């Protein structure tokens, strides 16, 4: 990307989008195109069409998405599939209509089968049934990456697709009901410490293995891919290392300074038993994550505390 190029970051106020803006600014990309949800509804085709015709971006980072934790995915599957399908379809199509030079679509490793061989390689896509708890979201993301490939095939576009693992960091959603596991646990332990609660209840058995990537590392990976990669092969973005939910809870307990008991509610769903991505292809391209989990959680917790304990 040229330093003066017009770059559209779709979803710039979210966890991923805000990290992308920080990374772009650090690298000297200052001609950024951004619009809030109040300014443009990305699920409405006419709004997106008018926006692209007016702004004429040259590069697009498609980071806009409706996201949430396991319970949100179970309760709101219609919203997850509709909103994500509409946003990605509108942005990808208008990028083609308006001559965008290159687009990076951000998916998720939840696109892979529930019982995929671990660590999960990119060729595991569509080789088995999805995890039921987030199937609606996963199907929408699969449609987005397939749309990128279809436009490349028919129109010769240069649209690439990255599949990040579980993300965390500043600007995350710390909602106890709808947030992802790591930010939700951070808030839960933080509030338990402040209120002197004798125990913290963690959903599930504690046994599932998950991989976590610090958000600023993802942003750096996205810039790397935009500048150094093109092709239809999807690319996993992660650390390649997993941790059990029980061990994660213990680490967060240590970082927040909580001294009470941790109890696991086994009546709540676990989701996939193991989900760790194989990132050997990305390493072969020349990039790997730099932030270890303890450091990343510490930074995230410091940011959360600076927000005045609001969290939402």
Q: Is 144 annotated as a binding residue?
A: no
Helix, coil or strand: residue 74: helix
pTM of the model: 0.94
The CATH architecture annotation of domain 7-172+212-240+276-299 reads 3-Layer(aba) Sandwich (3.40)
CA distances from 103 to 9, 75, 117, 148, 213 (A): 10, 31, 30, 9, 22
Catalytic residue among 112, 137, 214, 258, which?
A: 137
Extents of the domains making up the chain: 7-172+212-240+276-299
Q: What pLDDT sits at residue 173?
A: 87
Q: Is 12 annotated as a binding residue?
A: yes
In the chain, alpha helices (H) = 15-26, 45-55, 70-75, 77-97, 135-155, 181-195, 215-228, 245-256, 280-285, 293-306
Q: Is 298 annotated as a binding residue?
A: no
Asked if residues 76 and 198 have their Cβ atoms less than 8 Å apart, the reply is no
Q: What pLDDT sits at residue 312?
A: 43
Q: Is 300 annotated as a binding residue?
A: no
Q: What pLDDT sits at residue 309?
A: 56
Burial label, 61 (beta-carbon count in 10 A; 0-12, 13-18, 19+): buried
Q: Is 66 annotated as a binding residue?
A: no
Does residue 137 carry a catalytic annotation?
A: yes
Per-residue pLDDT in tens (0 to 9) along the chain, 312 residues: 999 999 999 999 999 999 999 999 999 999 999 999 999 999 999 999 999 999 999 999 999 999 988 888 999 999 999 999 999 999 999 999 999 999 999 999 999 999 999 999 999 999 999 999 999 999 999 999 999 999 999 999 999 999 999 999 999 989 887 778 999 999 999 999 999 999 999 999 999 999 999 999 999 999 999 999 999 999 999 999 999 999 999 999 999 999 999 999 999 988 878 899 999 999 999 999 999 999 999 999 999 999 875 444
Q: What pLDDT sits at residue 101?
A: 98
Between CA 211 and CA 56 the distance in angstroms is: 37
């Amino acid at each position: 990307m040229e330093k003066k190029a017009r770059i559209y970051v779709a979803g710039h106020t979210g966890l991923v989008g805000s990290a992308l803006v920080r990374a772009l600014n650090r690298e000297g990309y200052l001609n950024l195109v951004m619009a809030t949800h109040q300014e443009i509804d990305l699920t409405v085709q006419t709004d997106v069409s008018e926006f692209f015709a007016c702004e004429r971006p040259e590069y697009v980072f498609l980071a806009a998405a409706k996201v949430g934790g396991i319970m949100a995915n179970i309760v709101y599957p219609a919203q997850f599939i509709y909103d994500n399908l509409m946003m990605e379809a509108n942005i990808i199509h208008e990028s083609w209509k308006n001559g965008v030079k290159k687009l990076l679509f951000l998916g998720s490793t939840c696109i892979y089968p529930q019982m995929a061989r671990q660590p999960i390689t990119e060729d595991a896509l569509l080789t088995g049934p999805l995890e039921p708890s987030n199937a609606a979201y996963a199907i929408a993301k699969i449609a987005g990456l397939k749309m990128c490939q279809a436009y490349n095939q028919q129109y010769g576009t240069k649209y690439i697709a990255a599949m990040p693992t579980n993300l965390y960091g500043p600007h995350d959603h710390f909602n106890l009901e709808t947030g992802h596991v790591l930010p939700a646990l951070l808030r839960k332990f933080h509030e338990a410490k402040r209120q002197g609660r004798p125990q913290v209840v963690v959903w599930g058995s504690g046994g599932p293995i998950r991989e976590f990537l610090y958000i600023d590392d993802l942003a750096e990976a996205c810039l790397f891919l935009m500048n150094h990669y093109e092709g239809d092969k999807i690319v996993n973005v992660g650390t390649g290392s997993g941790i059990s939910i029980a061990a994660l809870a213990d680490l967060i307990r240590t970082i927040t300074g909580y001294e009470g008991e941790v109890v696991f509610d086994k009546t709540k769903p676990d989701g996939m038993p193991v989900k760790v991505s194989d990132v050997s292809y990305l390493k072969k391209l020349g990039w790997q994550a730099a932030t270890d989990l303890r450091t990343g959680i510490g930074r995230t917790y410091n940011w959360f505390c600076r927000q005045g304990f609001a969290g939402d």
